[in-house]
Amino acid sequence: MPDIISEPAGEGVILLRLNRPEALNALSLSLRQLLARHINELSTDDTTRCIVITGNDKAFAAGADIGELSRRTVLDADFERSRVAWLAIEACPKPIIAAVNGFALGGGFELALHCDIIVAGEGATIGQPEVRLGLMPGAGGTQRIVRAAGKFAAMRWLLTGDRISATEALGLGLVSEVVPDQDVVARALALADKIASLAPLAVRAIKETVLLGPDAPLPVALALERKTFQLLFASEDRAEGTQAFIERRQPQFKGK
Ligand code: HXC
């Protein structure tokens, strides 16, 4: 079986399952590269509107592969190859939802942090334990966590490597919602279905603006929003969406 199983899961929705159960879905470089290939392909596939990434009941992903980390030297070119693999997810214009059950640790939670929405199960365990290995997060954890949860929560968490529950993570703003474990994938797919039924250009514009804005000065970010908003007036879907409202019918969006 491949390290990732890709399955269609509704109109315009693809479910990617991480599949290294014997290693709690530890993110070997080859798994990350395979994930990047899937995401790159889906990024340019017009029929794909939303992607869900999940693991299994025991683990979303227990981090980078510690065996590989133990052998890596400072001069390994792996850092660059690893970066390219993460970049595919970072640059994906389609919304990605993480459906998290079980352990989401280290690079595993950083993978979830690359996604746009995180649905976590009540029994999920989240942590950045790298400091306990003499390491630190290397796939955006220090930066994405401080932006999502603020300095004091981030420091408390990253400096101790403590694991937290999904409910605590929700309180810190580190996951979008918490649901019973058995409902995680279904809930993520329901959100994906809803997003897939909406206007693709608007969805894409919202994702892009939300991700770019916070790192720009507010006036620039607001200008970006205004310009992107203005651009959507060129779309057929804007005409269809507003007309459908007036005619009290469901809009038929085409992504044009
Ligand atoms: C490689 C791993 C692994 C990992 C688990 N396994 N996590 N292999 N890399 N990150 C393997 C175990 O070796 C074991 O293999 C099998 O999965 C089951 O794990 P157990 O430890 O036996 O399970 P359990 O007792 O239930 O404990 C679960 C656990 C523990 C608490 C999640 O496995 C754990 O602490 N894992 C490491 C978590 C971690 O430190 N992650 C951060 C990695 S650093 P065998 O063959 O013995 O059955 C990182 C840096 C990111 O992510 C940098 C950017 C990419």
What digits encode the pLDDT tens for the residues 56-111?
999 999 999 999 989 888 877 677 778 888 999 999 999 999 999 999 999 999 99
CA 94, CA 114: separation in Å to the nearest integer? 12
Indicate yes or no: pTM above 0.85.
Answer: yes
pLDDT at 79: 74
Residue nearest to atom 47 of ligand 1 (CA): 23
Tell me the Ramachandran region of residue 25: left when phi exceeds 0, alpha when psi lies from -120 to 50, beta otherwise: left
Query: Does 130 have pLDDT greater than 80?
Result: yes
Q: How many whole angstroms separate alpha carbon 52 and alpha carbon 194?
A: 13
67 pocket-lining for ligand 1 (C-beta < 6 Å): yes
- The 10s digit of each residue's pLDDT in 21-67 is 999 999 999 999 999 999 999 999 999 999 999 999 999 999 999 99
For ligand 1, is residue 107 a contact (CB within 6 Å)?
yes
Q: What is the DSSP string of 114-183?
A: HSSEEEEETT-EEE-GGGGGT----SSHHHHHHHHH-HHHHHHHHHH--EEEHHHHHHTTSSSEEE-GGG
The more confident residue out of 72 and 162 is: 162
Phi and psi for 129 in degrees, rounded to 5?
-85, 15
Catalytic residue among 55, 102, 106, 130: 130
Report how far ligand 1's centroid is from the alpha carbon of 202 (Å): 40
| Per-residue model confidence (pLDDT) at position 100 | 98
- Catalytic residue (choose from 64, 85, 104, 205): 64
Pocket test residue of 28, 65, 66, 145 for ligand 1, highest count of atoms within 8 A of CB: 66
| Lowest-pLDDT range of 71-75, 135-139, 163-167, 223-227 | 71-75
Helical (H) or strand (E) element with 14: strand 13-18
What does the pLDDT look like over 181-194, one tens digit per residue?
999 999 999 999 99
CA distance 54 to 120: 10
Ligand 1 in reach of 66 Cβ (< 6 A): yes
Q: Which of 3, 24, 25, 56 to mutate to test the pocket of ligand 1 (most atoms within 8 A of CB)?
A: 24
